[in-house]
Every structure is written in C-alpha cells, then in structure tokens.
Chains A and B, each alone.
Chain A
Amino acid sequence: MADVSVKKGLTKGLIKLTVLLGIGFIFLFVLGRLLPAPSEDGYRVFPVIGSRVWVWIIAQLHLNFAAFVLGVPIFAVSMEYLSWRRSDGRLDRIAYDFTKLFTLAYTITASIGTILLISLPVLYPKFMDHMMRILGPTWWLYIVVMYVEVMVCYYYYYSWHKMKNNKGAHVAIGGLLNIMGVIMLLITSSWVGYMTTPGGVSETGELISRWHAIKTHMWIPLSIHRLVANVVFGAGIAASYAAYRFIVSETDEDRAYYDWMGYTSAMISIGFSLILPGVGYLLGVEIYSFNEQMGIQLMGGFFAWLWVMQAILIGAILMFVNYYLWISLNKMPGGERYFKYVKYLFIVMLLGYAVWLTPHSIALSLDEARKMGTYHPVLGNLGVMAAKNTAVVITYLVTFLSFAIFKMSNKEPVVSWAKLGNALRIIIVAGSTVAVLAIGVYSYMVSSSVRVKVLSPIQFGVFFLSIIALFILDAKMFKNAKIIGAPRWGKMPERSQYALIGITVTFTWLMGMMGYMRSGGRQYWHVYGIIKDTSPDAFLPTHGFAAVVTSILTVIFFALMGLLFYGIMKLEKKGGQGGAKA
C-alpha cells in the first residue's frame, strides 16, 4: 500500500472484491458438481474436524474481522473530526493510523467471508436453501452495500492527504462509510435474528411476511449490542496495535506516540464497554419475550457455567484495565500521591470479582437438579442476580475511580470551592456505593419480575448517574487547574503494554464464547422451532471443547492480526508513511 492515487486505490478495491466474489461463486459451482450429493437430510461432512467446527472457526474469524472493520471507522472518523476542529496533528495521525489498519483489514475480512460463502451452501445446502428462500433479497442487498462500503472505504483512505485542505468533506465521507457499516450490520444481524427468534414464517417454515422475518425480536437489540461491541473491540485492537508498536519502537518519540495511542484506544474501548451490560440486558429481554424457555436455558440451563466463565473474563478485563491505570500513575507527575489508594481499590475489586464468579445453579444437568435441587444451599445466595448485579456495578465503579484518579493525578484544582468539591466527590462515591448495596439487599425480597425489570435498571442507573456527576464535577473543578507536570508519555514499563494486549485477547475470547452461547441457545435447531438440525453435530459439546475451539480461533485471529501489523510496518519502511498519495 505504498503511495497510491485515489483512482488507482479505488480500482484496486473494486478488483479485489470482484475477484474474491468470483472465486466464491466459481468454487460453489465447481464443488457443487465435484462433491458427492449431500445426505438425505441435507448435509455434507467437512473432513477431519467436521462441518460444525469448520464453520464455527471461519464464521467467528469473519465476525471478528468484520467487527474490527465496522468498529474502528467509528472512532477513526471521530478522531479526524476532532483533529479538524482542534487543528491537532496528533489526532489526525491516530485517525490515519486507524484508517490504515481497517483498510488493510478489509482484504482479510473479505477473504475469510469468501471461505464462509463457499462453506455454508456446500456443507449445509438444505438449511441455506431455506435461508435464501426466506431472506434471499437481503443477501443481494448485502452484496450491493458491501461494494459501496468498500469503495467508500478505499476513497476515504486514499484521499486522506489529497483532501487535507478539505477536511469537512473528508469527514463527511467517513460518516458515509459508517452509515454503510451500520447497514451491513443490520443486514447480517437480521439473519442471526431470524435463526434464533424466527418470525414471518408458518410453523412449517413457509414464508408469510419477509419483513417480519427480518424484523424479529432479536434484530434491533442484537444490532445495537454488536455496534457497541464492535467499537469496544475495534478500539481494543487499535490498543493492541499501539502496544505492539510501543514494544518494537526504537525511538522515544515513537514510544511516546504509541503509549498515547494505546491509552486513548484502551479508554475508548473501556468507555464504550460500560454501555454493553445495558444493551445486553435489552437483548436478553427480547429473547425472554420471544421464548421464556430459551431465555432461561441461556441464562441458567446448560450454559449456567459459561456465565461464570463470562464473569472470569470480564473480571480479568477490568483487572487488566485497573492494573494498566495504576501503573500509568507512574508517568504522571504527582501520581505518587495516589499510590496509597491502589490497595483498597484492589481489595474491593477482588471481593466484587469473587461474588461475580459465584455460580447460581451449580447443577449441570437436569438429572443433577433432580438429585441436589436447583440451587446450592449456601453459595446460591451469592450466585443470584441480586448479588451479582451489585458486585458488577461496584467493580465498574472502582474501574471508573481508577480512571478518574489517573486523569486528575497530575493536577491540582485552583477553584475556591476545591474543598467542597472534594467532599462532594466523596459523597457521590460513598452515596452511590451505599445505594447500590441497599438496592442489592432489597432485591432479595422482591419477585424476579421486579428485580429484573425495576431494580436492576435502577442499580445501573445509579452507577451511570454517579459517573456522570463525577465527570461534570471534575470538569468544573479541574478547569484551569494547576498542572504539576505534563504526562511523561512513553515512560511506561513494557509490562503495561502486555496488560493492553491482555484486555484485547480476553475480549476477543469473550466475543467467541458469547457467540457460541448465542448460537448454542438454538440447541438442536438451525432455525429455532422451524428447521431442525439432524446432522451428527446436533448436540452442544462440553464446555471444555467449546473453550478449546474458542482459544484456537482466538490464536488464529491474533496471528492474522500480527501479520497485518507487520505488513503495515513493512510498508511504512518501504514508502515512508505509506498509503495514500498526497
């Protein structure tokens, strides 16, 4: 991707996409004729690892890359907008770096998408026939939007330097790119939504209303959840890229820049992740309203222990984040004043983590439930939503406090009401903690309906109100504050960068596992209640097996990402900054 003109760049993009699609269709045609006919109930078997594991790995890899190329443009454009309004060269550089990353990642995304395009109809012809019959037109729309999106993406990237004096128009092109990305997301979410919470068809799977087959219970909440998760994930990958570049940097200047990039990306990632429990809740509500049984199966049936795994993963992410922020105090002149608080924050994090990890129903099978009862007599009290929500909110509050401490650690307020401000901060933190705990205790005394529909949202509401209040208060209190010293960007131990990598690897693993759970929620159905899975893979594997597959695909994903990062560095060395021609 050494210096290329806009026209050449667009032609390159167009050719790449058309060649990949062409390969996909040719393979479909050839394999359809060369391979033996599918079994009577409509399956072919992938050699050695079986069709399910093959599609599982390819689909999740495609999803990871798609999440990246849809998520990163959102904040790349936001950064470009800020750089334009503030005339800040550093923001422009980070926006360009992000753009370079996702433009190159498009090729890998499309290549894996092509493998998926070949795999699904070849291995699951009957199921794909049904999907095409019900949602076929959305697939053709998907191809059209994909072309437009790739063209806009390439234009956005290759016109970067050419349009440097017309930033407004360039930012608008970035906006269009994001609109295309959201449309792609809506289309693909409609497919998953139909498979999990089908609508618009008769009990035998005949199409009644295509619009209702698109507009299923899951469609919008899943799309919102994915959109937010994509930003979290995309920013996380950008943080990993920065960490990688920091570690291999040879100059202090580069280390300073990549330290700042890593910090900015990680904070965007974590900031957006705060919204995820809320949108996840909306998704859960829709699944329950479609089918209570599916909701309960997902939350407490076979998958109960995977929620414990989820708690381990999110807890690990928050631990990595807090660790990174605590180390970061070292680079802030004045940061040492706050070292003494770190141990208390750590203790609260550990306690919250322990409660969060406690499983609700430890019975693995219905047989076990018959023998020992549904809940554990002691731990069951900590494993319920009342305790878990409280623990989650408190750990998030601690994480926000770590962030707030880091942000203000090199400043001293000069406003006359600084003492009152500090008192207010203590009142907000203590008050919200007491309120969250009190609601948690009260949650034990009400029906599940009140707990889920009223008290849980109030708990999260208290958390959000308190962080908003702290945010506003700090902004006022530290306005024109005395700066003890500028952050010493780049003066970070190498281990801090491994924490950044740890956040992203864990989040990727979490995405893989939650994707498996969402898919597994259908149990032995391709389309829940409509098209039964009668293949040899129509069972849910052990949690260990699922964990191994998730680890393998996460390692493959990071190996590909590593190649991408390496490729960017190579190109930079070859052609200066590389990329778009001025």
Chain B
Amino acid sequence: MKGGAIKLFIVVVGINIFFAYIGLYFLPQSQSLPPKTIKVEKGITQDELVTLGETIIFSKGQCMVCHPMKQETGMRAPAIATIGAEIVKSAKERNMTPEAYVFEALVNPGEYVQKGFENMMPPVHKPPTSLTEGELIAVAAFLQSKGANVTVSYPESIPVLQEQIKIEAKKGGK
C-alpha cells in the first residue's frame, strides 16, 4: 500500500481545512474587545447619564449576559424593561431610598435577592467588571429610568454610593 502515508496526510489536512472553513464561514465573525473606561464629567445631566448607563450595561458592565431586556421564560436575572418600577417597590418594602437600593443592588447584590432568582451577581465595582463611581451612577440612572423617576445624579450621589460600598467592604463580600 504505497502512498498510504501521503493519503493519510491529505486526510488529516483535509479534515483541518474543513473545520477551519466551518469556523470562517459558518460561525459569526466578531471580536470581543476589552472595555474602555468611560469618563463621567461633573455637571452631566440625568438624561445624559441614562444614555451613558445604557451604553455601559451593553458593554463594560456585561449586564445583558444575565439580564434580558424583556421578560423571558427561564431568565436568569430580572428583566431590564421594568426594573425601575421594581426598584421603587423593593426599596419601599425594605425601607430604603430608591437611590440607596439601586446602589446596593450594584455593589452589594447578595444583600437582597429578588424572589425567584438566585444570588449569582458579582459586585460590579470590583474586578473583573470594575465599574468606576461615575459609571455606577450612570448605570443606576439607566435602571431607574425603566419605569420610575431618575433620582441619582453625578457627582451628588457619590456619598450614597460610597456608603453602600463601605457596607459591602465590611461584610467582606467576594
């Protein structure tokens, strides 16, 4: 069976070309770039914060990995579309301001978990997400805008945010 080795080599190369072809032409082609830190300027309006927050939840925040926009069967985390109203409701139940509650949900998420969901969210001010104070306030503004009034602003909300970060640090969260 002379030439067997050559035939085998052709088979090996052929299979590899086939798999590379599937990878190149049957799978979607896109790169995943590292996120850029967004600079939030003093005096930014609430509308601008909301727009910025939306950009962050779809990019650096990676919120959409778990949170769907609309209600879906089997969703892992609450839907974004009505989350502002949920924030107001839950804050009232827990005797907190919506502002404090939304920051707690971002930096100390294990403290209170919505019924029907699991405690799986990491504190997003810490690595690997590492949102800055400005970015966190922008995300909070966007979340509030989904069914409620936006009460957070930059830099006025920083003390409330820092208070929640302190509570999380004392708890020694992951």
Q: Which chain A residues have a beta carbon within 8 Å of chain B's beta carbons?
A: 203, 243-244, 247-250, 291-294, 296-297, 300-302, 305-306, 308-309, 312-313, 364-367, 369-370, 373-375, 384, 447-449, 494, 498, 501-502, 505-506, 509, 523-525, 528-530, 533, 538-544, 546-548, 550-552, 554-555, 558-559, 562, 566
Closest A residue by C-beta to B7: A247
Instruction: Assess whether A365 is in contact with B30, with CB atoms less than 8 Å apart.
Output: yes
Let me know if B16 and A291 touch, CB within 8 A. no
Beta-carbon contact of A292 and B11 below 8 Å: no
| B70 / chain A contacts, CB cutoff of 8 Å | 373
B119 to chain A, nearest CB (A): 9
13 A–B pairs (Cβ distance < 8 Å), ordered by A:
A249-B1, A293-B66, A296-B65, A366-B62, A373-B68, A501-B8, A523-B32, A529-B128, A543-B23, A543-B29, A548-B23, A550-B19, A552-B16
Given A542-B30, A547-B24, decide whether A509 and B16 contact each other with a Cβ distance below 8 A: yes
Contact with A along B17-56 (1 / 0, CB 8 A): 1011011110111111110000000000000000000000
Interface size on B, residues (CB 8 A): 46
Q: Are A524 and B34 in contact (CB under 8 A)?
A: yes
- B127 on the interface (CB 8 Å rule)? yes
Q: Which residue of A lies closest to B13 (CB)?
A: A555
Given contacts A523-B128, A524-B34, A525-B128, contact A542 B29 (CB under 8 A): yes
B13, A369: Cβ atoms closer than 8 Å: no
Asked, given contacts A248-B1, A548-B23, whether A501 binds B12 with beta carbons under 8 Å apart, the answer is: yes
With contacts A523-B128, A547-B27 taken as known, whether A293 is within 8 angstroms of B62 at the C-beta atoms is yes
CB distance from B72 to the nearest CB of A (A): 6
B64 at the interface (CB under 8 A from A): yes
Q: Give B8 Cβ to nearest chain A Cβ, in Å.
A: 6
**A304 — nearest CB in chain B belongs to which residue?**
B28
| 15 further interface pairs, Cβ-Cβ under 8 Å (given A293-B66, A370-B69, A498-B11) | A243-B8, A247-B1, A292-B66, A292-B120, A293-B122, A300-B65, A364-B28, A366-B58, A366-B64, A366-B65, A494-B1, A505-B11, A543-B29, A548-B23, A562-B5
Point out the residues of chain A lying under 8 angstroms from B66, CB to CB. 292-293, 296
Instruction: Out of B15, B22, B31, name the residue touching A539 (CB < 8 Å).
Output: B31
The main secondary structure of chain A at its interface with chain B is helix
Residue from A305, A505, A525 with most neighbouring chain B CB atoms (10 Å): A505
- Give per-residue flags for B65-90: 1 if the beta carbon is below 8 A from chain A beta carbons, else 0: 11011101010100000000000000
- Contact check: which of A302, A384, A505, A552 meets B15 at CB < 8 Å? A505
Q: Does B118 contact A (CB under 8 A)?
A: yes
Name the A residues within 8 Å of B22 (CB-CB).
309, 312, 547
With the chains together, A547 CA to B24 CA distance in Å? 7
Distance (whole angstroms) from the CB of B113 to the closest CB of chain A: 12
Residue in A203, A313, A364 whose CB lies within 8 Å of B126:
A203
Binding site of B, secondary structure by majority: helix, strand, loop or mixed? loop
Bound together, the chains give a CA A371 to CA B19 distance in angstroms of 30
Q: Counting CB contacts under 8 A, is B162 at the interface? A: no
Instruction: For the complex formed, measure the closest distance between the CB of A511 and the CB atoms of chain B, giving whole angstroms.
Output: 12
Contact of A292 with B121 at beta-carbon distance under 8 Å, contacts A366-B64, A374-B72, A551-B20 already known: yes
Query: Would you call B4 an interface residue if the criterion is a C-beta within 8 Å of the partner chain's C-beta atoms?
Result: yes
Measured between beta carbons, the chain A residues less than 8 angstroms from B30 are 364-365, 542
A566 to B74: give the CA distance in the assembly, Å.
55
Q: B112 at the A/B interface (Cβ < 8 Å)? A: no
Are A548 and B24 in contact, CB atoms less than 8 angstroms apart?
yes
Q: Choose from A294, A533, A540 the contact partner of B31 (Cβ within 8 Å).
A: A540
Which of chain A's residues have a CB closer than 8 A to the CB of B4?
A: 244, 247-248, 494
Whether A539 touches B23, Cβ cut-off 8 Å, given contacts A292-B121, A373-B70, A551-B16, is no
Contact A502 B65 (CB under 8 A): no
CB-based contact A538/B65 at 8 Å:
no
Q: Is A374 a contact partner of B68 (Cβ separation < 8 A)? A: yes
